[in-house]
Structure 1
Amino acid sequence: MQTLPRNVYSVASVREIDRTAIEDHGIPGYTLMTRAGAAALKNARQQFPDAQRWQVVCGAGNNAGDGYVVARLAANEGLVVSVLSLVDPSRLTGDAATACQDFQAEGGTIVPWTGQLDDDA
């Protein structure tokens, strides 16, 4: 199995890259989120090619949005996906809310966090 680098960019660097892409190049934030989710899914599938059941844990903020994008794309590829939400999805805003809504619009279901993981995933 291939190992991933621990840190490629600092948080400040990633924020600046995002800001430049959005403000200077006109790329919508949700487009960036979708691209990141697709890249994350591709890498995860390479790392775990036999995994057919996935559990995605989503919190708040844009990282939650990334999780919902990964979950939506994984489900679209035929994987069985379970999403556990650490926060009420109604608290999400912006691109994260859009990602959550898109996941649900395509049939995805969200299970509230109860303190344990789904043994079936």
Structure 2
Amino acid sequence: MTEVLTAARMRAVERAAMESGRVTGLELMERAGQGVVEAILEHWPDGRRAVVLCGPGNNGGDGFVVARLLAGLGWQVEVLLLGGADRLPPDAKVNCDRWRRMGPVSGLTDGRMDGYAEDNPGVDVAVDAIFGIGLTRPFLSLGRTQMELNLWAAASPRDSRFPGVVSIDVPSGMDADTGEYPGYTNENPLDSCIVANMTVTFHRPKIGHLTGHGPAACGKLIVKDIGL
């Protein structure tokens, strides 16, 4: 039977590996990004264009790695960042700087995302790297952005005008321990929050992938080995 982890246990496994000297945070981030790219290429072998939505933490750092690796394969990639690059954690900042040597970083705002698919035809994949398993508060901002990704995930299997949605670790806003969306008590979060066609997580599945709204929200779950 496959072991299933809490978010805290996953962070402890990563921390132990780094403290032992077997791997650095940057190396784990690179491996995670490579795993996401492998999954994208397996499921969108003819894809050539992506938008990567990066958040203010290490999940966003994974997104910068994905952007860099896809661009290195000849994809056209746009990167949007929530918040300022100067506030990123050290490893995420390194990967932001690496990406910036290849392309620009624009601000992630509701205004930028409103009607994005219609204004940018031909985008094959949207990578949700906004928040990962470390989020401990309700994700109630970026309502328009969340609605756009919700729409894309629902529409893309039937309509090529919309990009498929790939979430890194969990759909942003979902609790990795429960599969619920904190802050949404009087409505169905699957109607308005970020959901994915495919979620790529690392080392082991998390409890939230398999419980609550997790199975419906995550779409196809891919678990990638990052050497832990």
What band does the TM-score fall into relative to the shorter chain? 0.7 to 0.9
Higher RCO structure (Cα 8 Å, ≥6 apart): 1
Pick the structure with more helix per residue.
Answer: 1
| C-alpha distance in 1 between matches for 2:5 and 2:42 | 22
Question: Identity rate of aligned residues, in percent?
Answer: 38
Instruction: Return the offset for 1:53.
Output: 0.4
Instruction: Return the offset for 1:86.
Output: 1.4
Pick aligned residue for 1:99 from 91, 95, 102: 95
Q: Any unmatched runs of 5+ in structure 1?
A: 1-7
Instruction: Return the offset for 1:51.
Output: 1.5
| 3-state SS of paired residue (2:10) | helix
User: In the alignment, what sits opposite 2:106?
Assistant: 111
Instruction: Give the TM-score of the pair, scaled to structure 1.
Output: 0.85
Which structure: larger Rg? 2
| C-alpha distance in 2 between matches for 1:74 and 1:22 | 27
User: In the alignment, what sits opposite 1:82?
Assistant: 78
CA displacement 1:24-75 (0-9 Å, x = unmatched): 1331100110011001110111122222100100011100100000001110
| 1:14 maps to 2:32 | no
CA RMSD of aligned residues (A): 1.5
Moved over 4 A (4+): none
User: Between Structure 1 and Structure 2, how many residues are aligned?
Assistant: 113
Q: Any unmatched runs of 5+ in structure 2?
A: 124-228
| C-alpha distance in 2 between matches for 1:114 and 1:60 | 13
Instruction: Give the TM-score of the pair, scaled to structure 2.
Output: 0.47
